[in-house]
Amino acid sequence: MATPTWFRLGLRATLACTALYCVSPNAFAQSQVGANPQGAGQNSEEPSERVNAQLGQFTSPQDITPPLPQPEAILTDPFGWNTYLRNRGVAFTFDNTNEFTGAITKPTPGYGLRQGSSNAGQYSMESDIDWERLAGWRGFSTHAVIVGRYGIPASRMFGDNLNPSSEIYGAGGNVAVHFVYGYGEETLFNGHLDIIAGRIPFLNDFSSNPLYCNFMNNAFCGNPKASSDNIAHSSYPDAVWSTRIRVRPTKTTYIQTGVYFAQAGIYGNTQYRTGFKFNGADINGEAIPVEAGWEPIFSKGTLPGHYKLGFAWDTTDHKDTYYDGYGNPYVLSGLDPRRNHGSWAAWALADQMLYHHKGGAPAAGLTAIAGAYFNSQRTSTRAQQYEIGLLDRGFWASRPLDAVGANFSYVRVAPKVGQTQALQLQYDDPLLNGSYGVQKYGMVLELLYQIHVFRGVTFAPDFQYYWRPGAQEVLHNAAMLGFKSHIQFF
């Protein structure tokens, strides 16, 4: 799911006045030359990032619409069209993200698994329009993304079904054109109130962290993977009809809530392969989240931090992980699992720059990342997920735009899932989640070095290590090598 980068976070939260509207039209190309690289993320402006600019950092008192995205790109201003469009409030961006991983350890024998490699990728086109500049509609903007995806993650080959080694795959995969989202945004009261409505993925707005998509494993990018256990929490690149309201009481705090109409079969190919199914005939409930955030900048504006707490309740029906409708194990009774009406999730996310490299760009520094996610154990496979990591950009003076990172994730599977699988093993039935053994807990470590190759181009060699792949003790630990590349064309 998901789709963001450190560049957008740092540029928008700390250097909003380096955006196009703070410089002359002729300075557009020059404004990108010394900017931070977009990094290894995706070409998607998440709604949560659109309003991440703190109060007082909009381009002018008259223009209250959040700045248009301006990633570092190969083609800065070909034939002057970028300057022409942006001066009129229109921005188009196009990119490609590619992820390759291959196992360097042999798989567990006896399960038909294999040691292999695979590639996955995505190209995307984004459109952002500032209607305040284009047509005088004060505070209003629209945003849309269309992608094409290809490939699968190689971690499936050695039996993992919890933490895909390549996040840029899945729903909407292997299709030339897939509609991700389209929504309108109204910003009012000089940024104190922001409202969006349209087709939006739940997880673009809530429990998201732009830093995570510097990494490649789906445990991290762009939300903790436990967040997508609940199908009522729609995930990039699939959207639902929804509306979200964010209020900023102060310059460094916000609270947001919304309603997201869950749809049955959202990740299937029958109706949602292209993402252009807009009718609500299969809406089967609502997800209602609440998230509060604190976004301080310590040490005289050099050490930004972001702290989030959230909770979500939904009204969809979910299959129980153990019981049937009469309170007995459904494996023993042979009946269908009980239908639980409603489920919940809670999360806490934080990132904090600990040290800023003197003389470097605002995003140059060592940042700590941490997160915890909790799900209802009656309805979810992942009961808890904890993660912690470090990302350091600009640590090497001769390579100021490079970054090095490490991230670690621990997933605890709901006990009832393991109990169901134990009964299935006893009766020689296929195991829940397509597993090879009882699932309990598993861990993933990812290490990367992100190389800024050229303006708009990054290449990141990547190492991943799996303890108990898929949280299964019966599978041997596994190691992978690969890379993540990102090319921002314009």
Closest of 216, 235, 253, 252 to residue 389, by C-alpha: 216
Continuous segment of H or E residues that includes residue 78: none
Q: What is the pLDDT of residue 232?
A: 93
| Range of weakest confidence among 18-27, 67-76, 234-243 | 18-27
Q: What does the pLDDT average to over 323-329?
A: 96
71 vs 2 pLDDT, higher one: 71
Give per-residue pLDDT as tens, 150-182: 988 999 999 999 999 999 887 666 788 999 999
Highest mean pLDDT among 68-72, 82-86, 462-466: 462-466
Q: d(Cα 432, Cα 354) in Å, to the nearest integer?
A: 42
Q: d(Cα 338, Cα 233) in Å, to the nearest integer?
A: 21
Closest of 334, 313, 332 to residue 259, by C-alpha: 313
Q: d(Cα 312, Cα 316) in Å, to the nearest integer?
A: 12
% of the chain surpassing 90 pLDDT = 72
Q: Is 43 helix (H, G, I), strand (E, B) or coil?
A: coil
Q: What is the pLDDT of residue 8?
A: 33
8 vs 151 pLDDT, higher one: 151
For 66, residues 6+ apart whose C-beta sits below 8 A from its C-beta are 12, 50, 51, 53, 58, 141, 185, 187, 191, 194
Q: What does the pLDDT average to over 133-161?
A: 93
Q: Is 154 helix (H, G, I), strand (E, B) or coil?
A: helix
Supply the pTM of this predicted model: 0.88
Q: What is the pLDDT of residue 173?
A: 62
Q: Which residues pair with 307 in a beta bridge?
A: 294, 350
Q: What is the pLDDT of residue 63?
A: 53
User: What is the overall mean pLDDT for the chain?
Assistant: 86
Closest of 373, 372, 369, 366 to residue 351, by C-alpha: 369
Q: Do you find a cis peptide bond into 222, omega within 30 degrees of 0?
A: yes
| Range of weakest confidence among 15-24, 133-142, 214-223, 365-374 | 15-24
**DSSP labels, 292-353:** EEE--EHHHHTEEEEEEEEEEEEEEEEEEEEEETTSSBHHHH-PPEEEEEEEEEEEEEEEEE
In the chain, the amino acid numbered 147 is V
Q: Which domains does the chain have, with CATH numbers?
A: 6-488 (2.40.160.180)
